Structure 1
Amino acid sequence: MSVKQVKLTVVVIILAFFAFFALAPFFFMLVSSFKPGDQIIKNGISARLDLDIMTFKNYKTLFTERNGIYLYWYKNSVLITTIQTAVAVFLSSLVGYGLAVYDFKGKNILFVLVLILMMVPIEILILPLYKLSITLKIIDTYAGVMLPFIVPPVAVFFFRQFAVGLPMELIDAARIDGASEFGIFFKIMMPLMKPAFGAMIILQAMFSWNAFVWPLIVLRSNENFTLPIGLASLITPYGNSYDMLFSGAVISVVPIIILFMFKQNSFISGLTVGGVKG
């Protein structure tokens, strides 16, 4: 075996080791989702496949218990994630593109502000955002969840770094041909930025889908809860619905897995190309 093959084998073993530890919690959760809640409490979370007690009853209960409240949580998460991801990625791409391509007064100051916002923890912004949400009367609404993060600074920074590496000669040629600035962006630059869009769609969708702190503060009614909040509400001092919790958690990861399967090439390309050009 050559030295190159040995190195490759070592890398594969190391990656497989990390992949095992990354997937192990999900496997434990998947196995537990087929066990009755009392068995999970009695024996704890384990990877033991006991076929005598494993059943699909938990998944049936998930859609029938509490008048099918899980479906409301799922619908809320899907709608919020879809709308917020689409709007956030689109607006962030415009801002990032503008900071990369155009020269205007205050451009560097705006970029510094974007960097500063990236370093500010969400916990510091919760109180002013909450007071603003009350003033705008968007508490317990989809808008209250989405509006404060509709233009994420991380996405703006990513698109700006990617757009810096775009060929400016195409912009000059399009202007000579009489194309408008929006036409240049939508017809020429946006197709070139597909890898960046693919990466940001996945990252933004994961952020929106898994968001917990802010939706927990702004949402009040049980019917408007998103999946993270709804699943967390199953654990209470008065009783724990482990059967719904584990089966609901398993189904909750399906949309993100499907999204990544369709966008994984763009995701990897966007991160690598953006990192090199940045």
Structure 2
Amino acid sequence: MTTASASATTAAGKYRVRPGLIVAWTLLFIGGVIMIMPLLFMFSTSLKSAGQVYDLRLIPAAPTLDNYIRVLSDGRFVRWFLNSSLIAVIVTASCLFFDSLVAYTLAKFNFAGRKIIFLAILSTLMIPTEMLVIPWYLMSSKFGWLDSYWGIMFPGMMTAFGVFLMRQFFKTVPNDFLEAARVDGLNEFQIWWKIAMPLVTPALSALAIFTFLGNWTAFFWPLIVTTDKDLYTLPVGLSSFAVEQSIQWEMIMTGAAIATIPTLLIFLFFQRYIVRGVMLGGVKG
């Protein structure tokens, strides 16, 4: 057998389609279609008139944007959208700052009880959110935080998951860089901000995305802590909107579609940071 023939045979064997791979990709494709179909029907229904709602065709016969105009003309919906945006942005910024600061301290300073503090923080991850609602509510009531933006935001302004994720990354930052910065006269806060933080950008990006999406879709706690409709976040407002529009499915789907669009855009544009942050976090852990 000639060298060329041997190479061709090797290449054919290398790229031979395996039955197991076909089955795996087929199952993944079917699973993807099952998960995306409700989303497609939601957007499809939002483009239909009231008389077309029960037409199950995915592409409407006469698509219209009237539903979006009606929903966006409702001042309450715009207010709920702005509330969710404000809360999600502030809580995300708070988590990035405080979680990173605590994580840097636990990763780069040796002091008595460091491991105990870290384990205590991690242990809070095992507590279901439902068990924390009563203490949060009592605290909010005592300090006058009910029906306020602060009451909605304070439980998520620092997270154990963020501390854990950032600590794993800060541990990989070479100590030589930090020592060189100290020799140059930088204080510890400046070292953290100017030296360490730029080196953990993938983790910061992943944490920012997770935190923003988590607060954007939060429903349970904002529902409990607020009774003023002007303070409703978008998920809570949509639930009340759905009750009011109980027989107008096109309006309900339009509101849900508008609420979903920001999360889809964030995922599409920043998905590489999500994957990179999770993969590196798992490897470094």
> TM-score normalised to the size of structure 1?
0.90
Q: Does 2:284 correspond to 1:274? A: no
Inter-partner Cα distance in structure 2 for 1:75 and 1:85: 15
Please name the residue that 2:68 is paired with. Answer: 59
Please name the residue that 1:219 is paired with. Answer: 226
Inter-partner Cα distance in structure 2 for 1:277 and 1:238: 49
Please name the residue that 2:217 is paired with. Answer: 210
Inter-partner Cα distance in structure 1 for 2:14 and 2:252: 49
Inter-partner Cα distance in structure 2 for 1:153 and 1:233: 32
State the 1:271 CA deviation. Answer: 1.5
Inter-partner Cα distance in structure 1 for 2:270 and 2:169: 18
Please name the residue that 2:8 is paired with. Answer: none
Inter-partner Cα distance in structure 1 for 2:245 and 2:270: 42
Please name the residue that 1:6 is paired with. Answer: 17
Matches within 5 A, 1:133-152: 133-152=140-159
Please name the residue that 2:39 is paired with. Answer: 26
Aligned residues: percent identity?
Answer: 35
Q: Does 2:106 correspond to 1:99? A: yes
- The number of aligned residues is 272
Inter-partner Cα distance in structure 2 for 1:140 and 1:179: 43
State the AA in 1 paired with 2:39.
F
State the 1:238 CA deviation. Answer: 8.6
Matches within 5 A, 1:229-240: 229-236=236-243, 239-240=246-247
Distance 1:81 1:113, change over 3 A: same
Return 5+ residue gaps in structure 2 as ranges: 1-11
Please name the residue that 1:170 is paired with. Answer: 177
State the 1:17 CA deviation. Answer: 3.0
Inter-partner Cα distance in structure 2 for 1:115 and 1:142: 27
Inter-partner Cα distance in structure 1 for 2:162 and 2:213: 13
> TM-score normalised to the size of structure 2?
0.88
Inter-partner Cα distance in structure 2 for 1:93 and 1:38: 53
Inter-partner Cα distance in structure 2 for 1:118 and 1:58: 41
Distance 1:168 1:17, change over 3 A: farther
Inter-partner Cα distance in structure 2 for 1:59 and 1:248: 8
The structure whose Rg is larger is: 2
Aligned partner of 2:49 among 36, 42, 52: 36
CA RMSD in angstroms comes to 2.2
Q: Does 2:82 correspond to 1:82? A: no
Inter-partner Cα distance in structure 2 for 1:90 and 1:182: 12
Please name the residue that 1:48 is paired with. Answer: 58
Once the two structures are superposed, residues 177-230 of structure 1 have per-residue CA deviations (whole angstroms, 9 ceiling, x without a partner) of: 222111111111101010001101110011100000000001111121111001
Inter-partner Cα distance in structure 2 for 1:272 and 1:32: 37
State the 1:6 CA deviation. Answer: 2.1
